[in-house]
Amino acid sequence: MNLIEKQEEIIQEFEVFDDWMEKYEYIIDLGKDLPKITETNKTEDRLIEGCQSRVWLDSNFRDGKMHFTADSDAIITKGIIGLLIRVLDGEEPKSIATADLFFISKIGLQEHLSPTRANGLLGMVKRLKLEAIKHISAS
């Protein structure tokens, strides 16, 4: 599945929910299932400070593809991280750097990526892309 197909799959999954609370129940479950970053790996350089919640992002580059692990102190933020990683993990740096993450607004979560939300998610997406750009320029 490419980056666009993965996003369309998520949009389809979200179509079954009738109301906001069901949607958030699902996001919370995703957050609970996402592997945690160990406390020792929650270092300053991995931290993306939001005014409300904080995000830690760890990325590495293997066989031409990017891999991410991320965590947050807020479970809803973490659930949305889970969705972002599902879309972007295992992709080539170039696809990540140019990715249009259209699924976020399609499933009604654009407020979480607004600059005023201050939950660290927008900063996380920026850093994901920056990491990808670094690997493009390195290769």
Partner 1 sequence: MSNLEQKPFNVREIREEFPALRQQVYGKNLIYFDNGATSQKPKLVLDAINLFYSKENANIHRGVHYLSQRATTDYEAARQRIQRYLGARKSEEIIFTKGTTDSINLVAFSFGSTLSAGDEILISAMEHHSNIVPWQMLCERQGCVLKVVPINQRGELIMDEFDQLLSKKTKLVSITHISNTLGTINPVKEIIQKAHAVGAKVLIDGAQSIQHMHINVKELDCDFYVFSSHKVFGPTGIGVLYGKEDILYRMPPYQGGGDMIARVTFERTTYNELPFKFEAGTPHIAGGICLGKAFEFLETIDMEAAERHERELAKYAEDMLDTFEGLQIIGEAKNKTSVVSFSVKGIHPFDIGTLLDKQGIAVRTGHHCTQPLMDFYGIPGTVRASFAFYNTKQEIDTFVEAVERSLSMLK
Our CA angle for 18, 31, 94, nearest 5°, is 100
69 touches partner 1 by CB under 8 A: no
For partner 1, which residue of 107, 119, 125, 132 counts as binding (CB under 8 A)? 119
DSSP letter string, 68-86: EEEEESSHHHHHHHHHHHH
CB of 18 to partner 1, least distance (A): 11
By CB under 8 A, the count of residues binding partner 1 is: 15
Which residues neighbour 130 within 8 Å (Cβ) at sequence distance 6 or greater? none
* Stretch of 50-58, 61-69, 95-103, 121-129 contacting partner 1, by CB under 8 A: 50-58
The reply to whether 75 sits near partner 1 by the rule CB under 8 A is yes
Active-site residue list: 51
Instruction: Based on the shown chain and the rule CB under 8 A, indicate whether residue 51 belongs to the binding site for partner 1.
Output: yes
Q: Where are the alpha helices (DSSP H) in the chain?
A: 3-14, 20-33, 75-88, 93-98, 103-106, 121-138
Residue 65 per-residue DSSP state:
E
77 binds partner 1 (CB under 8 A): yes
26 binds partner 1 (CB under 8 A): no
Cβ(65)–Cβ(92) below 8 Å = yes
> Which residues lie near partner 1 (CB under 8 A)?
19-21, 24-25, 28, 51-53, 73-77, 119
